[in-house]
C-alpha cells in the first residue's frame, strides 16, 4: 500500500523564475513521531493500510510520493529591517499542492528535508526541538481559533544536526493555504520582473481572494487591501492571546493571513506590554506591543513591491496604498477592541454616545486593565480565565485570587495596585450588570474566548527535552492538552498553571 496525495501542483505551473526544482535528501533512519490523521483526512490524502514505516519514508523525504513535483520557492525578505534580496526555501521543499475537502488549494511542504538551491551556507536540516515546537504551537493556535499553518507529520531523521551542539534531527511536514509571503512579492519587484510579479499576484487572487473580480482594473489594489485586512485581524488575534511571534520578518508574513514560522515565538506568562523572548531580537523590534506597527511596516514593503500594478500614475498609486495602510490601523484597533470586549464578557462594543460609555469608553476601560496587568506582571492567560470564573459571582467574587497572579511577590502586596484593581473590578461588574442580562451565559461566553490552556514555554521545553531523550509521551500529552484549550479538564490541570520561578523560560531561540 502506498500513501496517495491528490496533487495538483498549481504552484509548479507558475513561471520558472518563481521556484527551483529540488529533491529531498534521504536520511539514515527515519522514525515516525506523529502523523496528524484528522488533518490528512481533510486533505483527501489516502493513508488506508499504510504502516508507520511508510509514513516515515514519505514524511522524511526518503520516498517521493507519486505525482509530486518537489520544489523550493524563491523569495526575498527584510530581516530585522535589513533587506536580503535572496532568501528562498533553504530547508523546505514543497511536495505539492492539493485541493482539500473545502475545495481550498493547500500546500504540503517538508521542512528540514535537505539542501536546496537557496540554502546558502545552511545544511537544509532542522533539529528535532524546533520541529516539535512548531508542531505543538501551530496545532495549539488552530485549536485557539487563530489562522495558521498546520502540522501534518514529524519524523525523527536518525541523524544528528550540528548547531551550538549536536542535536537529534527531524523533518516537519507543514500544511498551509499557501507559502506565499510578503517577501515573495519583494523578490520579483527587486528584480523588476513584472511577469513573475503578476503571475504570483494573479495566483494569490485566485487562491486566497476569489471574491475579487480578476478583470477589475484595480484588482491588485483590492488584493493589497484584502491582505492588509487579514493581517490586521491576525495580529489582533495574537495580541488577544498574549502571543508574541518573535520574528516578523517580511519573509515570515503570509499573504493569506495565516501565522507562519514558529521560531522564537512564545505566549506571555507574566504580562508586560513590551515583552520579548527572542534572543536575537536585541532591540525589541518584535516585542508584544510593537507587533501591530511592525505588521504595518511589512505591509508598506508589500505596497512598494506592488506599486507598479496599482492603477493610475505613481503619485495616485502611492496615495491609494497610503490610504489602505491607514485603514489597516483602524481595522486592527477595531478587531482588538471587539476581541477584548468579548474577553471581558461584553456582547457588544460600546457606542461612545451611550450612557455607560460616556464617562469612560471601551478603549480606555480595557487600556486601564492592561496597565494593571503590566504594573503587576499578572499572568495574562490566567487573569482572563479567573476573571471569567467571577462573571456571575457578584459581590461574592474572590478577588484575592486575581492579585495572587502577580509575578512579583511585592506586587502581590502592593496597596496601590490592589486599589486600582478593585476599582477596575467594581467598574467591570457594574458594566456587566448594566450591559448584559444573563451573567451565567456571560461566564460561559468568556470561557469560550479565554483559554485555560496555552502551550506555555516551560511545558514546551519539557516536552522537547523528553523527546530528545527518546520519550515522546510528554509531547503527546501536551498536544492532547492544547488541542482543547477552552475546557478545564482535571487530567490536564498541571497545564493550566503558570511556571514556578525556577521553571520560567526567559529566552527563546530561532533554532534554525
124 binds ligand AMP (CB under 6 A): yes
Q: Is 251 a catalytic residue?
A: yes
For residue 113, count other CB atoms closer than 10 A to its CB.
32
Work out which of 78, 91, 332, 445 binds ligand AMP, going by CB under 6 A: 91
159 binds ligand AMP (CB under 6 A): no
Tell me whether residue 308 is exposed, middle or buried, using C-beta atoms within 10 angstroms of its C-beta: 0 to 12, 13 to 18, 19 or more: middle
Task: Give the SS3 label for residue 396.
Answer: helix
Residues with Cβ within 8 Å of 459's Cβ and at least 6 positions away in sequence, in order, are 478, 495
**Least distance in angstroms from the C-beta of 454 to Mg ion:** 23
Catalytic residue among 89, 100, 251, 407: 251
Site pattern 50..89 for ligand AMP (x: CB under 6 A): -------------------------------------xxx
The number of CA neighbours under 13 Å toward the Cβ of 291 is 31
Cα separation, 200 vs 184, whole angstroms: 8
Partner from Mg ion, ligand AMP, none contacting 31, C-beta within 5 to 8 A by type: none
Only segment of 117-125, 288-296, 389-397, 444-452 that touches ligand AMP (CB under 6 A): 117-125
Closest to Mg ion by CB, 249 vs 366, is 249
Judged by CB under 6 A, the chain residues 245 through 304 that form the site for ligand AMP are 251-252, 261, 263
**Least distance in angstroms from the C-beta of 161 to ligand AMP:** 8
- Closest C-alpha to 106, from 94, 97, 93, 117: 97
114 binds ligand AMP (CB under 6 A): no
**Number of chain residues interacting with ligand AMP (CB under 6 A):** 17
- Closest C-alpha to 265, from 163, 140, 160: 140
Work out which of 122, 284, 312, 394 binds ligand AMP, going by CB under 6 A: 122
- Closest C-alpha to 350, from 233, 443, 435, 445: 435
**Least distance in angstroms from the C-beta of 252 to Mg ion:** 5
Cα separation, 188 vs 203, whole angstroms: 14
Beta-sheet strands, E only, within 215-299: 243-244, 266-267
For the stretch 6-15, what's the b/e string if a residue is b when 16 or more beta carbons lie within 10 angstroms of its beta carbon? ebbbbbbebe
90 binds ligand AMP (CB under 6 A): yes
Closest to Mg ion by CB, 233 vs 261, is 261
Judged by CB under 6 A, the chain residues 461 through 500 that form the site for ligand AMP are none
Q: Give, as one character, the DSSP assignment of residue 136.
A: H
123 binds ligand AMP (CB under 6 A): yes
**Least distance in angstroms from the C-beta of 93 to Mg ion:** 14
Q: Which residues contact Mg ion by CB under 5 A?
A: 252, 261
> How are beta strands 105-111 and 126-127 bridged, if at all?
unpaired
407 binds ligand AMP (CB under 6 A): no
* Residues carrying an active site annotation: 251
Amino acid at each position: 500500500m502506498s500513501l496517495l496525495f491528490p496533487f495538483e501542483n498549481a504552484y509548479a505551473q507558475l513561471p520558472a523564475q518563481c521556484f527551483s526544482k529540488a529533491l529531498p535528501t534521504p536520511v539514515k533512519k527515519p522514525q515516525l513521531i506523529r502523523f496528524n490523521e484528522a488533518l490528512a483526512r481533510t486533505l483527501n490524502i489516502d493513508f488506508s493500510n499504510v504502516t508507520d514505516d511508510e509514513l516515515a519514508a514519505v514524511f522524511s523525504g526518503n520516498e517521493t510520493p507519486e505525482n509530486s513535483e518537489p520544489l523550493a520557492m524563491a523569495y526575498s525578505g527584510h530581516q530585522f529591517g535589513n533587506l536580503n534580496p535572496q532568501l528562498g526555501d533553504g530547508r523546505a521543499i514543497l511536495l505539492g499542492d492539493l485541493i482539500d475537502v473545502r475545495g481550498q488549494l493547500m500546500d504540503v511542504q517538508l521542512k528540514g528535508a535537505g539542501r536546496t538551491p537557496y540554502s546558502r551556507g545552511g545544511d537544509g536540516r532542522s533539529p528535532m526541538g524546533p520541529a516539535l515546537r512548531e508542531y505543538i504551537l501551530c496545532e495549539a493556535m488552530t485549536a485557539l481559533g487563530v489562522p495558521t499553518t498546520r502540522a501534518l507529520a514529524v519524523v525523527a531523521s536518525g541523524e544528528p544536526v550540528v548547531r551550538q551542539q549536536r542535536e537529534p534531527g527531524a523533518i516537519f511536514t507543514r500544511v498551509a493555504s499557501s507559502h506565499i509571503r510578503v517577501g515573495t512579492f519583494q523578490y520579483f519587484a527587486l528584480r523588476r520582473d513584472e511577469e513573475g510579479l503578476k503571475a504570483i499576484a494573479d495566483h494569490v487572487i485566485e487562491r486566497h481572494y476569489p471574491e475579487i473580480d480578476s478583470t477589475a482594473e484595480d484588482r491588485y489594489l483590492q488584493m493589497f487591501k484584502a491582505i492588509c485586512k487579514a493581517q490586521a485581524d491576525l495580529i489582533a488575534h495574537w495580541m488577544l492571546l498574549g502571543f508574541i511571534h518573535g520574528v516578523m520578518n517580511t519573509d515570515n508574513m503570509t499573504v493569506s493571513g495565516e501565522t507562519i514560522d514558529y521560531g522564537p515565538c512564545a505566549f506571555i506568562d507574566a504580562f508586560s506590554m513590551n515583552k520579548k523572548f527572542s534572543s536575537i531580537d536585541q532591540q525589541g523590534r518584535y516585542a508584544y506591543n510593537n507587533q501591530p506597527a511592525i505588521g504595518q511596516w511589512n505591509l508598506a514593503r508589500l505596497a512598494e513591491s506592488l506599486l507598479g500594478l496599482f492603477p493610475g500614475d505613481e503619485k495616485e498609486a502611492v496615495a491609494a496604498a497610503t490610504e489602505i495602510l491607514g485603514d489597516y490601523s483602524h481595522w486592527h484597533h477595531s478587531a482588538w477592541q471587539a476581541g477584548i470586549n468579548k474577553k471581558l464578557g461584553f456582547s457588544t462594543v460600546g457606542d461612545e454616545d451611550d450612557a455607560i460609555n460616556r464617562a469612560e469608553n471601551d478603549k480606555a476601560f480595557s487600556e486601564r486593565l492592561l496597565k494593571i496587568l503590566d504594573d503587576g506582571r499578572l499572568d495574562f492567560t490566567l487573569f482572563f480565565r479567573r476573571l471569567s470564573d467571577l462573571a456571575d459571582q457578584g459581590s461574592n467574587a474572590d478577588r484575592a485570587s486575581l492579585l495572587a497572579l502577580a509575578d512579583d511577590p511585592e506586587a502581590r502586596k502592593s496597596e496601590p495596585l490592589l486599589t486600582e484593581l478593585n476599582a477596575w473590578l467594581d467598574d467591570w461588574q457594574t458594566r456587566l450588570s448594566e450591559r448584559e442580562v444573563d451573567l451565567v451565559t456571560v461566564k460561559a461566553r468568556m470561557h469560550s474566548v479565554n483559554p485555560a490552556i496555552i502551550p506555555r514555554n516551560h511545558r514546551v521545553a519539557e516536552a522537547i527535552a523528553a523527546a530528545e531523550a527518546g520519550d515522546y509521551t510528554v509531547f503527546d500529552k501536551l498536544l492532547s492538552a492544547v488541542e482543547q484549550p477552552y475546557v478545564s479538564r482535571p487530567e490536564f490541570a498541571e497545564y493550566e498553571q503558570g511556571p514556578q520561578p525556577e521553571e520560567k523560560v526567559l529566552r527563546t531561540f530561532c533554532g534554525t
